[in-house]
């Protein structure tokens, strides 16, 4: 099998390093904004060299972002080339279109590394969904946010210090918005739910709260409840609708999620006849992510010629019936919040059981008004 690697950054170099010694998969091209010397592959800056070469049957996209990755992947699929990517933003944004393109052209579209990095999560989720009804997918899907929250608990440092350390270690980008605002987790839980529930979810319909506004006093409040704060992506199949959201969560210190430290991930599904199964490992990094990309290459070389799911039912997204208690720290108030604030706790409040939709709407309203607001669900896992 001849492959072309699009992008020669952290993951692209890792994929090249792992594939180069293999005899069954040949790296024929490496595409980057500059040419590279000393490669066994052809170094090019022109995607047309790749798409017009009929001997290239598989394109590995590790550029990231929406453009030009979308144009490259679409063109490759239309040209009858398999596509393997680690790009969760791209696939979650164009899921229906790209899946349909792969199916129409009889080629593979695989993106195991897009959710969980080095964890073989999506391929196992796909296998489980073939024979069991999956009711829930959830978990710690972003290593950067988990590193920050874990450091705030263990080092008793404030958010800005922990974020800077994460950036210094290469866990967080210079612009960490996607990680700390929950967008990265959003993309991953959407892709997971699409495969688990055979559906198509619009990211814009999902309620999202990140950790940007967390303070050390919130961590102290969490620990006072014998809990640990984690950023979770959660999706439930409720038969007639899907409940899906991203939010900081105070989990019991006895929960499996509470034991996940540094930049590690833990992702779980719950299925009929099977119960809960969890997958743990490095959610990012050069070689963990590249390893999973190469696993996809090997699957395609072995004959896999499809996307993960050929069924794409439209879904109603509804979070108004999913309820639990919340910890809320805010200097904003309205009649609704006053009515559901059950008790003062530390610097915040503990609410009665309220819907995810209502609490996220309140938080967004508070932030839009220029007020402080941090929310965290209080749930048993």
Instruction: Let me know how long the chain is.
Output: 381
Domains with residue ranges and CATH for the chain: 2-110 (3.40.50.720), 122-283+315-378 (3.30.360.10)
pLDDT confidence of residue 14: 97
Angstrom distance (rounded) from CA 31 to CA 41: 10
pLDDT confidence of residue 379: 87
Query: Per the structure block, which two tokens stand in for 23?
Result: 């005899």
ω before 377 within 30° of 0 (cis)? no
Percent of the chain exceeding pLDDT 70 equals: 100
Across the range 24-48, mean pLDDT stands at 97
- What digits encode the pLDDT tens for the residues 165-220? 999 988 888 899 999 999 999 999 999 999 999 999 999 999 999 999 999 999 99
**Which residue did the predictor score with more confidence, 314 or 26?**
26
Mean of pLDDT over the chain: 96
**Residue 149 pLDDT > 80:** yes
Q: How many CB atoms lie within 10 A of CB 187?
A: 27
Active site residue 156: no
At 380, is the pLDDT very low, low, confident or very high (cuts 50, 70, 90)?
confident
φ, ψ of residue 249 to 5 degrees: the values are -140, 135
Strands 58-61 and 134-140: unpaired
Across the range 334-353, mean pLDDT stands at 94
Across the range 249-266, mean pLDDT stands at 97
At 267, is the pLDDT very low, low, confident or very high (cuts 50, 70, 90)?
very high
pLDDT confidence of residue 315: 87
pLDDT confidence of residue 169: 87
φ, ψ of residue 78 to 5 degrees: the values are -65, -25
pLDDT confidence of residue 173: 87
Catalytic residue of the set 188, 230, 318, 357: 188
Nearest Cα residue to 193 out of 296, 28, 51, 317: 317
Q: Are 87 and 187 in contact (CB under 8 A)?
A: no
pLDDT confidence of residue 336: 97
Q: At what angle do helices 183-197 and 121-131 cross, to 10 degrees?
A: 30
pLDDT confidence of residue 342: 84
pLDDT confidence of residue 292: 97
Nearest Cα residue to 40 out of 86, 73, 81, 5: 5
């Amino acid at each position: 099998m001849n492959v072309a690697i699009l992008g020669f950054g952290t993951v692209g170099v890792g994929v090249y390093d792992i594939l180069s010694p293999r005899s069954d998969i040949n790296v024929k091209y490496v595409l980057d904004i500059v040419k590279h010397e000393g490669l066994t592959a052809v170094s090019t800056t022109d995607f047309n060299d790749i798409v017009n070469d009929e001997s290239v049957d598989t394109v590995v996209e590790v550029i990231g972002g929406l453009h030009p990755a979308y144009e490259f992947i679409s063109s490759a699929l239309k040209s009858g080339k398999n596509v393997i990517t680690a790009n969760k933003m791209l696939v979650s944004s164009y899921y229906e279109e790209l899946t349909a393109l792969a199916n129409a052209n009889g080629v593979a579209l695989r993106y195991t590394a897009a959710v969980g990095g080095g964890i073989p999560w999506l391929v196992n989720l796909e296998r489980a969904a073939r024979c069991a009804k999956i009711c829930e997918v959830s978990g710690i899907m972003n290593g950067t946010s988990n590193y920050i929250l874990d450091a705030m608990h263990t080092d008793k440092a404030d958010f800005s210090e922990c974020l800077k350390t994460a950036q210094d270690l290469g866990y967080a980008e210079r612009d960490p918005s996607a990680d700390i605002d929950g967008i990265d987790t959003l993309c991953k839980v959407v892709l997971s739910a699409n495969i688990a529930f055979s559906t198509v979810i619009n990211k814009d319909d999902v309620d999202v709260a990140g950790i940007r506004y967390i303070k050390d006093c919130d961590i102290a409040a969490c620990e006072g409840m014998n809990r640990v704060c984690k950023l979770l992506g959660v999706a439930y199949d409720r038969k007639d609708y899907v409940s899906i959201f991203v939010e900081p969560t105070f989990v019991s210190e006895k929960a499996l999620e509470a034991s996940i430290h540094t930049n590690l991930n833990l992702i779980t599904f719950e299925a009929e006849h099977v119960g809960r199964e969890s997958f743990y490992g490095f959610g990012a990094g050069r070689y963990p992510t590249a390893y999973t990309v190469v696993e996809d290459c090997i699957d395609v070389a072995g004959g896999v010629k499809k996307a993960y799911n050929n069924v794409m039912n439209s879904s109603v997204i509804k979070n108004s019936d999913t309820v639990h208690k919340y910890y809320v720290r805010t200097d904003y108030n309205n009649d609704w919040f006053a009515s559901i604030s059950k008790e003062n706790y530390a610097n915040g409040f503990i609410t009665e059981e309220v819907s995810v939709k209502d609490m996220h709407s309140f938080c967004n309203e508070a932030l839009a008004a220029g007020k402080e607001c941090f929310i965290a669900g209080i749930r048993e896992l």
